[in-house]
Amino acid sequence: MSADKPPVTARQILERCDVLAAESSSDTGIERVYLSPEHAAVNRLAADWMYEAGLSTWMDAAGNQRGRFEGRQPGLPALLLGSHLDTVPNAGRYDGILGVLLAIAVVDRLRADEVKLPFAVEVLAFGDEEGTRFGTALLGSRAVAGTWDPAWWDLHDKDGVTLREAFVEFGLDPDSVGDAASRSGDVIGYLEAHIEQGPYLEEADRSLAVVSSIAGARRFALTLTGEAGHAGGVPFHRRHDALAGASEVVLAVERLARTAGAIATVGRLQAFPGGVNVIAGRVEFSLDLRAETDILRDDVWQAIQDVIAEVCQRRGLICAIDETHNAPAVVAAPALKSVIADGIRATGDLSPMTLFSKAGHDAMAIADLTAWAMLFVRNGRGGISHHPDETVTVEDVAIALDAFEAAVLALAETYSHPTA
């Protein structure tokens, strides 16, 4: 792609977010899951934009759309820039997506300015950060990090399609998933730009922040089993009401996490058989538990299990627990955090804010491959996210683009590869 094409602007980045938002499996909101037709569609769009930015592009063996922009000479180790293109149900249009498009836009500027760096730059559009389809998250970035777990092949979606079947249906070879892994010797670090998904930048009236660390997360699928029965005929003292039991657990989850300074959510709960005049014999519900340290997170998990045991004993219920996701807390690399801070300072904010991320990100997986750092971008309306009202301003996107580009250039200043 010739250098005389002007680089993409912040407004064009937002327009691209709107184009990607239209690729949804739902006609009432944005939903785009791993290895779906919508995933294939956004990969093709990202590939086009990567090509226009001067990246050579390919889809890797795990369905991630990737691009490479060579440095001063071909084959140099690469700085990775990326985020994810998949979404939660009824999602906003910037979670993950803005980070991918900012990464492409930074390379587009390098192209237009004919800048050749002492390292290559690779852009990664991960196919599954949320875990919406198969329950286990970070599948795309874990493939790149080389930490794919073969036990995942038997995970299945709500229609009973296994991850293995979904791979084949998408045109991927499950046996080749290892080809998606990057070698640590081929990368020099990972930078991710992402909306904050919280209220602190808006409260501080700042556009950007450096991320200090990302909360460790564990997810569980729990089933409480009691005894269904007639809503009128069964007296209270004879009941084994799974929904009443689950309700006690849900409130205990909130109380225990809040008291301990962790954060926990029951986002999905279903009672069976589900009749309005039938005592619930079974309840299936989710638990998403996070904390700044894995020790705190696991201490809260133990306290929650103690409450579950007490409720089950008192109400005559049985509880089955399946852990569906576990990602340790990760701390950003100081050297990369400082280039992100340099990037923010280059935009005129001379005392960059630092934030701890309670939201999970692909950097948690890429941390197994290389050093990482993140740039947070303000998103308005209290930082609402995982919601259609998710919003960013074109001004903040422009500032984020300047900061992200400046961070890459600051890294190039300090980085000297022996053969570059």
Residues of this chain that interact with Mn ion (CB under 5 A) are 95-96
Binding to ligand HGY, residues 128-147 (CB under 6 A):
129-130, 137
Q: Give me the helices (H) in 267-393, please.
A: 294-315, 334-345, 363-366
Q: Which is nearer to Mn ion, 372 or 415 (CB)?
A: 372
Q: Which is nearer to ligand HGY, 82 or 360 (CB)?
A: 360
378: three-class secondary structure by DSSP: coil
198 near ligand HGY (CB under 6 A): no
Least distance from ligand HGY to the Cβ atom of residue 129, Å: 5
Q: Residue 360 binds what, of Mn ion, ligand HGY, none (CB under 5 to 8 Å, by partner type)?
A: ligand HGY
For the chain, the distance separating the N- and C-terminal CA atoms, rounded to the nearest angstrom, is 23
| Residue in the block written with tokens 């369905």 | 63
Binding mask 347-366 for ligand HGY (x = CB under 6 A): ------------xx------
Q: Residue 140 binds what, of ligand HGY, Mn ion, none (CB under 5 to 8 Å, by partner type)?
A: none
Neighbours of 409 (CB within 10 A): 19
Least distance from ligand HGY to the Cβ atom of residue 123, Å: 20
Least distance from ligand HGY to the Cβ atom of residue 55, Å: 25
CA 214 – CA 194 distance, rounded (Å): 12
Least distance from Mn ion to the Cβ atom of residue 326, Å: 17
Q: How many residues bind ligand HGY (CB under 6 A)?
A: 5
CA 94 – CA 17 distance, rounded (Å): 7
Least distance from Mn ion to the Cβ atom of residue 414, Å: 28
CA 166 – CA 63 distance, rounded (Å): 11
Least distance from Mn ion to the Cβ atom of residue 356, Å: 16
Q: Which is nearer to ligand HGY, 195 or 224 (CB)?
A: 195
Binding to ligand HGY, residues 169-188 (CB under 6 A):
none
Q: Which is nearer to ligand HGY, 108 or 292 (CB)?
A: 292
Full 3-state SS string of 193-234: EEECCCCHHHHHCCCEEEEEEECEEEEEEEEEECECEECCCC
Least distance from Mn ion to the Cβ atom of residue 195, Å: 8
C-beta of residue 82 within 8 angstroms of C-beta of residue 103: yes
Least distance from ligand HGY to the Cβ atom of residue 95, Å: 6
CA 401 – CA 399 distance, rounded (Å): 5
Q: Residue 390 binds what, of ligand HGY, Mn ion, none (CB under 5 to 8 Å, by partner type)?
A: none
Q: Residue 118 binds what, of Mn ion, ligand HGY, none (CB under 5 to 8 Å, by partner type)?
A: none
C-beta of residue 248 within 8 angstroms of C-beta of residue 256: no
Q: Which is nearer to ligand HGY, 122 or 390 (CB)?
A: 390
Q: Which is nearer to ligand HGY, 34 or 119 (CB)?
A: 34
Q: Which is nearer to Mn ion, 108 or 362 (CB)?
A: 362
- From the list 133, 16, 147, the residue with the least C-alpha distance to 86 is 133
CA 285 – CA 53 distance, rounded (Å): 44
Neighbours of 344 (CB within 10 A): 28
H or E segment at 65? Answer: strand 65-69
Q: Residue 216 binds what, of Mn ion, ligand HGY, none (CB under 5 to 8 Å, by partner type)?
A: none
CA 17 – CA 24 distance, rounded (Å): 12
Binding to ligand HGY, residues 100-129 (CB under 6 A):
129
The footprint of ligand HGY (CB under 6 A) covers: 129-130, 137, 359-360
